[in-house]
């Protein structure tokens, strides 16, 4: 069954604006990770947040994790046209990873 | 940089055929994974392997099998292809860590094989 769910499923913003994507998951995790997928390509790892962390930054990316609500958010600040892609959260357990269905982000120049 | 290579970007096969999808990684990773990706369903895990000759079923193993004879290579086999197996297939690999097991480390993906079964 699908564990992670991203919200919204599609997002369209102007270049320079911030983009926020949310993710929910159902079971306990070691960590939660966000991946990006350009059209027709494989997924690329963006950022990892451990279950005992609440917030993590990497460049223009900010991730938060609320294990009590089993949810995470990804914020991309000052978006660029090159950020146009699909973004997936992945709930990483000890043996398995469960991916969400993704948020398709379009950044309009 | 980790490289995960899938043997074909596009593949067209007929129903009933036995289909082999090959994946090779060059970073000596212990873990390898096969997913299928369908619109509106995200990535679903078919099988994974945490060591040579070891395999574990994922969420949707029916109709598939896998082979891992060498550490760098993980093959997905469609025993008798059906039209509902038309999909994008993604291979990934990751290292293991004693604290986080097979699932804990970032996964590195190939560019996928878009498989059409006619």
Shortest distance, CA B41 to any CA of chain A (angstroms): 5
Most confident of the ranges A23-27, B42-46, B86-90, B102-106: B86-90
Q: Would you state the structure tokens that stand for residue A50, as one six-digit string?
A: 């451990």
Do B103 and A92 count as a contact with CB atoms less than 8 A apart?
yes
Residues in chain B: 118
In tens, the pLDDT along B34-61 reads: 999 998 888 999 999 988 989 999 989 9
Q: How far apart are CA B91 and CA B58, in angstroms?
A: 13
Closest CA to B36 of B56, B70, B60: B60
User: Nearest residue on chain A to B2, judged by CA atoms?
Assistant: A44
Q: For residue B112, which phi and psi values (nearest 5 degrees)?
A: 90, 155
Shortest distance, CA A97 to any CA of chain B (angstroms): 6
Mean pLDDT, chain A cut into blocks of 10 residues (109 residues total) = 64 96 89 94 94 95 96 96 95 81 94
Question: pLDDT value at position A6?
Answer: 74
Q: Hey, of B103, B110, B111, which one would you mutate to test binding to chain A, going by the most A CBs within 10 A of its CB?
A: B103
Closest CA to B55 of B42, B64, B40, B66: B66
Do A42 and B56 count as a contact with CB atoms less than 8 A apart?
no
Q: Taking CA B56 as the corner, what is the angle to CA B6 and CA B41, rounded to the nearest 5 degrees?
A: 65
Q: Hey, of A46, A86, A95, which one would you mutate to test binding to chain B, going by the most B CBs within 10 A of its CB?
A: A95
- Give B56's contacts in chain A (Cβ within 8 Å): 95
Shortest distance, CA A70 to any CA of chain B (angstroms): 17
């Amino acid at each position: 069954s699908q564990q992670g769910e991203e919200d919204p499923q599609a997002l369209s913003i102007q270049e320079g604006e911030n983009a926020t994507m949310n993710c929910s998951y159902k079971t306990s995790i070691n960590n939660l990770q966000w991946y990006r997928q350009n059209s027709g390509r494989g997924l690329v790892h963006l950022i990892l947040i451990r279950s005992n962390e609440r917030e993590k930054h990497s460049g223009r990316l900010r991730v938060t994790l609320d294990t009590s609500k089993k949810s995470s958010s990804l914020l991309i600040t000052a978006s660029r046209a090159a950020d146009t892609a699909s973004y997936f959260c992945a709930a990483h357990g000890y043996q398995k990873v469960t991916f969400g269905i993704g948020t398709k982000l379009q950044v309009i120049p | 940089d980790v490289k995960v290579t899938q043997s074909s970007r596009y593949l067209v096969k007929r129903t009933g055929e036995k289909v082999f999808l090959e994946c090779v990684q060059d970073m000596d990773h212990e873990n390898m994974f096969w997913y299928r990706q369908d619109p509106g369903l995200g990535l679903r895990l078919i099988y994974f392997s945490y060591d040579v000759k070891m395999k574990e079923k994922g969420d949707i193993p029916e109709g598939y099998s896998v082979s891992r004879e060498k550490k760098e290579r993980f093959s997905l086999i469609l025993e008798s292809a059906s039209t509902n197996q038309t999909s994008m297939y993604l291979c990934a690999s990751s290292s293991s860590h004693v604290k986080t097991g097979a699932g804990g480390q970032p996964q590195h993906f190939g560019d996928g094989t878009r498989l059409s079964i006619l």
